[in-house]
Amino acid sequence: MIPIDWTYFKAYVDSNAISFKEISYTNNYYLYLSDGGIVAVCNIVKDGGSDQTDYEANYRSSKANKQILRTSQIHKSFSVTTQQTNATIWTPASGKRIILTGYQFSLHNNTLVAQSAQLFEDTNTAANILYTNFTATGSNFDVSHVLTPAVPLAVDKAIKATTSGGIRVAGVLFGYEV
């Protein structure tokens, strides 16, 4: 367990789109977060100081924090058996963003040429690619990955896929909508 001050704690929460837990006891807020093998703790004294004011105004009752803590993880299954261009895999509810926390794929290439598969955020540009795989002729490939830190997409942006030729892809995306 790593004790850190409020400035570092909130920077870690913000930069990694991670949730935390609070225990309010006597004159303190005790905050805990766990990210893989990292467990960090922060103590904010309820003394009316700037840390308490910032926490209460911007984090304690923040909509995003409550949604992450109280929202069940979403599993989006998909299967592609023919060539796809910009096929929508996951569209968030209006006004929400996807926070991608992991994926699991099986790719099967039974063709006589190499094939590719890509997942991307909304438009297929180099800056928006979330995952790319090139499979050799007649090969199969399985991949599982937990994203640390999680990948927050922009509000109202979907995850889409493009595949070449006859590659078959089946998978599951894991994440949240906040």
- CA-to-CA distance for 136 and 141, rounded, in angstroms? 10
Q: Strand order in 2-3's β-sheet? A: 2-3, 38-45, 28-35, 21-25
Would you kindly state where each structural domain of the chain is located, as residue ranges?
A: 2-70, 74-177
- How does pLDDT run along the chain (178 residues), one tens digit per residue? 678 889 988 888 877 667 788 887 778 888 888 776 677 888 999 998 999 999 988 888 764 454 444 467 789 999 988 899 999 999 999 998 898 888 998 988 888 888 888 999 998 888 889 988 888 888 888 888 877 677 888 899 999 999 988 888 999 998 888 7
User: For residue 9, what pLDDT is reported?
Assistant: 86
CATH T-level topology, domain 74-177? Jelly Rolls (2.60.120)
What pLDDT, on the 0 to 100 scale, is given for residue 70?
45
pLDDT tens figures, 22-52: 887 778 888 888 776 677 888 999 998 999 9
Q: What is the pLDDT of residue 60?
A: 82
pLDDT of residue 90: 97
